[in-house]
Structure 1
Amino acid sequence: MTRLAAASLAGTAVEFYDFFVYGTAAALVLGPLFFPTFSPLAGSLAAFGTFGIGFIARPLGSVVFGHIGDRYGRRPVLFLSLFLTGFATVAVGCVPSYATIGAAAPVLLLVLRFLQGLGLGGEWGGAVLLTVEHAPARRRVLWSSFPQMGPSLGFLLANGVMLALSAGLTDAEFRSWGWRIPFWGAGLLAAGGLLLRSSLAETPQFQEMGERAKLPLAEVVRDHWRLVLLTAGALSVGYAVFYAVTTWALAYATEHLGVSRTVMLVCIMAAVAVKGALTPVSALLADRYGRRPLCLAGCTACALWMFPLIALLQTGEPLLMFAGVLVALLAFITMFAVIAAYLPELYEPRVRCTGAAVGYNLGGVLGGALTPIVATALARGEGPPWGVAAYLTGIALLSLGCFALLPETRPVLEPAEAGAEAAPA
């Protein structure tokens, strides 16, 4: 289990590094470089629009790779998705700016961002099922929380590289070529991830499966459409909160509040580091008390914290901004440390890769794709952007209602079973 968890963690870290480095670049440089004929506000909206394309591609990726995972095994998904995302990310770093090739530049950017999202849409399902279908039932959430720590590591790595380049280069050098270096580095990371995954075995549950679904998506739509919609709505708040504080807040603080780019990146990275370290704590609580109670608690915390978050960001004080972001991310991880086990448990094994991944990535469209765009539009006036707080609170309440309608899935073990599983866990 340790080797499997490490491999799934490394893979999701690389995949989310690729995805996050684009979000940081969109917040800092992509608007002026690829949409120079737009006003500053329109340029930011256009850059975040290309960012959102990745989320729109993710459900399609979950369908394509989910079909592969349910028909041919979880293992092939891990290789194909990582290769596709790594290739697209390196290619983004090679796209000339608008000044060089004109309108072809933003078009290429859109295509490559779409491919990034396609690969990431398949990655999550494969990485999560690798641990979920190997793990003992009593510690299933704990082991499946390892791939959920991958986004934190990927975010820290992506923004750490961006921070180092931003601090070490002049603004002109960073905007000219420095921002491309993190994209090129994705090739080395993807190669290392593929090497690490080369020795992984197929999951026992897939090997023991009897008849496999011929068209997994058709079965999911026919038999589990309500479950897909509920999980997508439930997860939308997690995406909305995470990308509000890591992408929109970065752009807002640097452009509207005059906060240094370096200071804001450090605040966000420190909060993400704490969030990643505490992910196993939420997982252990979910193994002990159930999946649904943790998700409901996280949603409630998000709903209560959005207005204080905006108030703390508006101060422009680093410690207060850090506190606002940290509490928001802790509320987020209370839910998202759990859903890696929760979503697959909601589906039967024959359509699990497709069903769990589609629900997870549709939540990304609802919460992640729109949030930076909507928040940027709502924050364009003078004064604190309370409209952003109201928007995020509304999404939190929607997700709370969806989680309330989902069943609990924590396995109830007999005393003999619990004792037998305690030792390997």
Structure 2
Amino acid sequence: MPSVTQQHHSPSVPPAPEVASHRAHVAPTEIAAGVVIGRASEYFDFFVYGIASVLVFPSVYFPFADRLEGLLYAFAIFSFAFIARPFGTTLFMTIQRRWGRGVKLTAALFLLGTATVGIAFLPTYATLGGASIVLLSFFRVLQGIAFGGSWDGLPSLLALNAPPNRRGWFASLGQLGAPIGFLVASALFLFLHTNLDGRDFLDWGWRYPFFVAFAINVVALFARLRLVLTEEYTRLLDEGELEPIETMTIVRGQGYNVFLGAFAGLASYALFHLVTVFPLSWVELNTNEDVNSILVIQIVGAAVAILGTIASGRIADRIGRRTTLGVLAVLIGIFSLFAPFLMGGGLGRQGIFIVVGFGLLGLSYGQAAGAVTSNFETRFRYTGAALTSDFAWLFGAAFAPLVALGLSSRFGLVAVSLYLLSGTACTMLALRINRVLGSRD
């Protein structure tokens, strides 16, 4: 076998220093910045819709129903985007194979922005009748398709280029987009809800965040295109074999990894909407508390989640990503036992539920995406990671507000505990199966 010196002078082998410098053009921190920018803009769109599902849509699009039914109708439509996401991923992977990454990303983000701003222009039920509900559902499905198509491969690229001893840290940075998006969406709704009277807010004020979402998407689009279409990024994506693969090929070859990854983070994804969307609906429906106070608490909670997400990276690099996810699932299960006592109390106890829940969410969500998707063979990781995220949100979060509010209104807040406990059980089972399969390999 030739020595390193011999390799260096061999004309048929590229010099090692050139290879190293070639791969050093793009630092993992730069990739992480692209991931945060992209994900924050997308989740801002989603959480604008989620908050409006509580504060606006029952009155504007379901005035014929009582308050509970209106919320449940709004939450049912809320789930449509998560159902549509895997189909969007499949569709836009096909577009990328045919026309390239830039066309795919541009089309997906413009579709996401158009669907979101379409909701801003949507006439009310009083003006358009049942057709307004059909159009609201249509735009929500388009949001989901576009969100699935907006996968740019940067999280997978980040995972492949992160130093081995800091993979947990860089995985957590890739997850910051969701709490940041929620924080900005909540702050904007709080500002409008506080400074406008109820009539103005329901007439036109609620539409403003949807316009803002379109503007943010345009800015994020150019920021991301600047990254993913450069020669250095294209080369890194190609070297990492991060290319779109047909969905059926993934299902046949790595389907077990998709579903293991989806269920491994279920406790975290279930908790997400139970500390964001659900508390707003519960307070609005069952208490006399000011919704603005809950929004303030949730903004504080989102900040705590951001810190928890960052901290999860430090913890995971010490004890392992899967161990971190398992420990946090147990803590979420314990936390769920206190849900009836905390959410059933006054503003102080509800605030504890929200802030502590956000803290646990940050610590667990920070590692929810990367703990098991690292099982994918390299060539499957690009599409596999996208589908894993789609199904994790679908199984864990899509129906959380609908199920939690519907069951708790009928059987009490113990239903919230049972929902979170089921997520904990699924996470522990998936991690156990993953460990068994890993030991066999």
Q: 2:137 — aligned with what?
A: 110
Give the drift of 1:163: 0.3
Give the drift of 1:296: 0.2
* Residues 1:393 and 2:421 are matched in the alignment: yes
Cα distance in 2, alignment partners of residues 78 and 293 from structure 1: 34
Provide the aligned length of Structure 1 versus Structure 2.
Answer: 407
Give the drift of 1:327: 2.2
Q: 2:297 — aligned with what?
A: 267
Higher RCO (C-alpha 8 Å, min separation 6): 1
* Residues 1:237 and 2:264 are matched in the alignment: no
Cα distance in 1, alignment partners of residues 105 and 169 from structure 2: 20
* Residues 1:406 and 2:406 are matched in the alignment: no
Cα distance in 1, alignment partners of residues 358 and 269 from structure 2: 11
Contact 1:66 1:353 in 2 (8 A): no
Which blocks of at least 5 consecutive residues in structure 2 are unaligned?
A: 1-26
Give the drift of 1:360: 1.7
* Residues 1:208 and 2:239 are matched in the alignment: yes
Contact 2:258 2:373 in 1 (8 A): no
* Residues 1:225 and 2:252 are matched in the alignment: no
Q: 1:418 — aligned with what?
A: none
Query: One-letter code of the match for 2:292?
Result: T
**What are the superposed Cα offsets for residues 15-51 of structure 1, whole Å, 9 maximum, x if unpaired?**
0000000000001110121122222222111100110
Which blocks of at least 5 consecutive residues in structure 1 are unaligned?
A: 411-425
Cα distance in 2, alignment partners of residues 147 and 18 from structure 1: 18
Give the drift of 1:408: 10
Alignment of 1:54-73 (within 5 A): 54-67=81-94
Q: 2:201 aligns with which of 174, 177, 192?
A: 174
Q: 1:345 aligns with which of 365, 374, 379?
A: 374
Cα distance in 2, alignment partners of residues 350 and 371 from structure 1: 33
Indicate the percent of aligned positions where both proteins have the same amino acid. 32
Cα distance in 2, alignment partners of residues 211 and 321 from structure 1: 44
Alignment CA distance shift 1:408-1:325 (3 Å): farther
Query: One-letter code of the match for 1:35?
Result: F
Cα distance in 2, alignment partners of residues 150 and 10 from structure 1: 7
Alignment CA distance shift 1:409-1:286 (3 Å): farther
Give the drift of 1:400: 1.6
Cα distance in 1, alignment partners of residues 242 and 350 from structure 2: 53
Q: 2:6 — aligned with what?
A: none
Q: 1:312 aligns with which of 326, 342, 354?
A: 342
Q: 1:323 — aligned with what?
A: 352
Contact 2:373 2:385 in 1 (8 A): yes
SS in 2 for 1:369: coil
Q: 2:30 — aligned with what?
A: 3
**What are the superposed Cα offsets for residues 152-210 of structure 1, whole Å, 9 maximum, x if unpaired?**
11101111110000000001111111110000111211121122123213355532257
Alignment CA distance shift 1:211-1:100 (3 Å): closer
Q: 258-267 vs 75-84, which deviates more?
A: 75-84
Alignment CA distance shift 1:282-1:70 (3 Å): farther
Contact 2:404 2:416 in 1 (8 A): yes
Cα distance in 2, alignment partners of residues 110 and 409 from structure 1: 41
Query: One-letter code of the match for 1:360?
Result: S
* Residues 1:144 and 2:171 are matched in the alignment: yes
* Residues 1:251 and 2:278 are matched in the alignment: no
Query: One-letter code of the match for 1:285?
Result: I
* Residues 1:279 and 2:306 are matched in the alignment: no
**What are the superposed Cα offsets for residues 354-380 of structure 1, whole Å, 9 maximum, x if unpaired?**
212212211211121111111111122
Q: 1:333 — aligned with what?
A: 362
**What are the superposed Cα offsets for residues 389-409 of structure 1, whole Å, 9 maximum, x if unpaired?**
122212221222112222499
Alignment of 1:187-202 (within 5 A): 187-200=214-227, 201=230, 202=233
Cα distance in 1, alignment partners of residues 361 and 313 from structure 2: 13
Query: One-letter code of the match for 2:189?
Result: M
Alignment CA distance shift 1:399-1:340 (3 Å): closer
Cα distance in 2, alignment partners of residues 352 and 345 from structure 1: 8
Cα RMSD, aligned residues only: 2.5
Alignment CA distance shift 1:327-1:77 (3 Å): farther
Contact 1:132 1:143 in 2 (8 A): yes
Query: One-letter code of the match for 1:100?
Result: T
Of structures 1 and 2, the larger Rg is shown by 2
Cα distance in 2, alignment partners of residues 98 and 4 from structure 1: 44
Contact 1:12 1:151 in 2 (8 A): yes
Q: 1:121 — aligned with what?
A: 148
Query: One-letter code of the match for 2:331?
Result: A
TM-score, normalised with respect to structure 2: 0.86
